[in-house]
Structure 1
């Protein structure tokens, strides 16, 4: 009681209280003495109330007398980033009731190896933080009971669906490069909806949206999400579907690991992108989707291109095309100029020079050949003429001889057939004579 009184004295010294009349006069300067305050709650009244600090201190003192306890539950949130203090949220194994738990250095060292979904027992004591009169459970020990029920069930479902091939990469459908319409599944008035639409419009303003609102946590989440996926998948205008939800605890995101939701995502023919939770959050729908984005903003960047980048690509392609066309034209101009500078075009008559030389050579060869042939022929004729001349009777006549022929033209080379009185023709070098035989002498 002395400790409480000391604490109260310190607390009351920080405040100034004055007795309040029924007309609620302004407080007087200086605190009211403790002995003037009501000792018990039933003694307080509108005219004589307790200060907030007194009530907070009494709560603190009352809770401080409560014994420590072991508490069993499932971790749905955990934050052990700091070495001096940490926080977890325990969820009852059966009821929708959660308990915030905090601990200090010793507790943090023990809790670092735990994760969302772990089933644990925690020892601690209740405490009231007087600054905010907030009840909390300060833990000093934590032990693992076994894998959390939900986590174990989800892991078992994951293995079974994986065995059916629902997560195979062959089932993944590539996203359209330039979607015209995006189907968006999210909670009504959710921040995720604004993040997706705003970032998509900044990157690709021409795109349209078809938004389907659904519950994204709780018992209504799975049927709503399944119906939304099937509705958008049947819409021929929708090119890609985005399922978006902001961050949340493991418990909040459990609906996206429902078997029906996973099967609806796997059977969706339209490309499906999930953006559920934060980068570290994973649900089974992420494994069945065609693409998993870390956040709704990341999903917006994945489903549409950046119009500025596309303009840069188009500008670069146009520039490259013009450069290639210019280079091609310049190359053709150089070829034409090269052709124009050729001697055959500057002096086309030079093309006839080889043919003219060929004709001249052929003419010379023909002349030489014909001359040789004529010379050979002349030589042959001269030889024949000489031979003929040498064998000609005229040559004999020229040497003074005569040819004697009978009347019928036979050459007389013997006197036997000649009789006296036969007429003979005598051919001389020049002219002929007709003679009559007056005598015949036989040859020896």
Structure 2
């Protein structure tokens, strides 16, 4: 029951401490999963002290365990081991501390760890975090490469040395973080955020060497996976060796089998690029020379054509054709004029033969009265009338002296 206290009647610290201890000590034993840290075995003591840390949150509880129970675990447990413990909460009133009194320790089975990772994998895949369309292409030659790795680690040396061997001018910004243990995922996320905030960093590599499944568990941490998915810059995963496959490999924009492979994938080989440039230059030169040769042959073929080899030959031929046409036109015109002249002469002769003048030329004459009308009958004239006689070379007047009609 709650204590009745007031400013005038406060409770003693021992009363509160004993009350808390009495309540907590009534709790039964529970099975707890966590990661062992800060394990300490005092010399000459039979008690093991340490911390049981939550694997997904920054929460921990102190624990105590009989040394015989702790050392009986096979294989032995050490700092960083993931375990299942059967423990009873105890509150130590004198020191005001809470600890778990461990009565049994078991390793977390590999099968159970794999099953949990598989369930998390399916959950994140259903959210689309591993989708191919989310993968971003790495820059061809990044200005600065961000590297997250353990301090003085082989992974750091592999990435830096191999990258500089391939492209000596490459620049790195290295952020160190724990790559194993309960704090690894949190430190890697902090390093990732620092590199993402650096505008000069164009690609980020997260690297560590190989290890057991338990060693690589931080790289399957849900928080880290979501942080990488939300990162605005391309991320390369270079965790472990070829068989190792933490969930970080699935969410990263590029998965490298080893840190050395990551170095080969993020920067080009300067020798290969120079060879490629030389090959392209040679291909370009050959293509240009071949094109010039083809054009030169085509030009020579065009120049060898008669129209260009002897450009006046066509003109001479056309000139000869024009002269021939002119001569032909002249002959045709002359022939037609001659025929027309002959025809005109014939017609003129016919006209002349039928002309009254021709009749006059043969000695005939035409008599005309004073009004100009021709005398055709004797009845048209009278005696004493003056007529005009028209002959071939002129005219003269005549006077009718007598009239005689034909019978």
Provide TM-score, normalisation by structure 1. 0.64
Q: Distance in 2 between matches of 1:163 and 1:385?
A: 119
C-alpha separation between the residues in 2 aligned to 1:201 and 1:92? 38
Q: Which residue of 1 aligns with 2:365?
A: 402
Q: CA deviation at 1:256?
A: 1.0
* Equivalent in the alignment of 2:256: 293
1:257 touches 1:283 (CA, 8 Å); kept in 2? Answer: yes
SS in 2 for 1:94: strand
Check if 1:231 corresponds to 2:194: yes
Contact 1:233 1:268 in 2 (8 A): yes
How far is the alpha carbon of 1:404 from its aligned partner? 2.5
Query: C-alpha offsets along residues 371-419 of structure 1, whole Å, 9 cap, x if unaligned?
Result: 3542453244234313311221222223332222334433222221322
Displacement, 1:354? 4.7
* Secondary structure class of the residue paired with 1:93: strand
Given candidates 219, 235, 239, the residue that maps to 1:256 is 219
Q: Which string of whole-angstrom CA distances, capped at 9 and with x for unpartnered residues, describes residues 180-232 of structure 1?
A: 21100001111111110000001111210000000001111011001111211
Q: TM-score, normalised by structure 2?
A: 0.70
* Residues 325-369 of structure 1: per-residue CA shift (max 9 Å, x gap): 222222232233333333333332223235324423542453344
Quote how far apart the aligned CAs of 1:151 are: 2.3
Q: Give the conservation status (yes or no) of the 8 Å contact 2:82–2:214.
A: no
**Counterpart position of 1:182:** 145
Q: Distance in 2 between matches of 1:75 and 1:151?
A: 19
Unaligned runs of 5+ in 2: 1-71, 86-105
C-alpha contact 1:415 1:443 (8 A) present in aligned 2: no
Deviation sequence 1:141-182 (CA, Å, 0-9, x none): xxxx97633222222211211111111111111111111211
2:281 alignment partner, one of 318, 324, 343: 318
1:146–1:244 Cα change, 3 Å: closer
Q: How does 1:61-140 map to 2 (within 5 A)?
A: 93-94=83-84
Name which of 142, 163, 170 aligns with 2:126.
163
Q: 2:124 touches 2:130 (CA, 8 Å); kept in 1?
A: yes
How many Å separate the matches in 2 of 1:350 and 1:244?
82
Aligned to 1:109: none
Is the 8 Å Cα contact of residues 225 and 261 (structure 1) preserved in structure 2?
yes
Aligned residue in 1 for 2:303: 340
CA 1:159 to 1:215, structure 2 compared with 1: closer, same or farther past 3 Å?
same
Q: 1:353 corresponds to which residue?
A: 316
Change (3 A) 1:167 1:92: closer
**Offset at 1:313?**
0.8
| Offset, 1:430 | 4.7
Cα distance in structure 1, aligned partners of 2:384 and 2:305:
100
Tell me the distance in 2 between the aligned counterparts of 1:235 and 1:197: 19
Residue of structure 1 equivalent to 2:175: 212
If asked which structure has higher relative contact order (CA below 8 Å, sep 6+), I would say: 2
Structure 1: give runs of 5+ residues left out of the alignment: 1-69, 77-90, 96-120, 123-144
Asked if 1 retains the 8 angstrom alpha-carbon contact of 2:166 and 2:271, the reply is yes
Cα pair distance change 1:408/1:216, threshold 3 Å: same
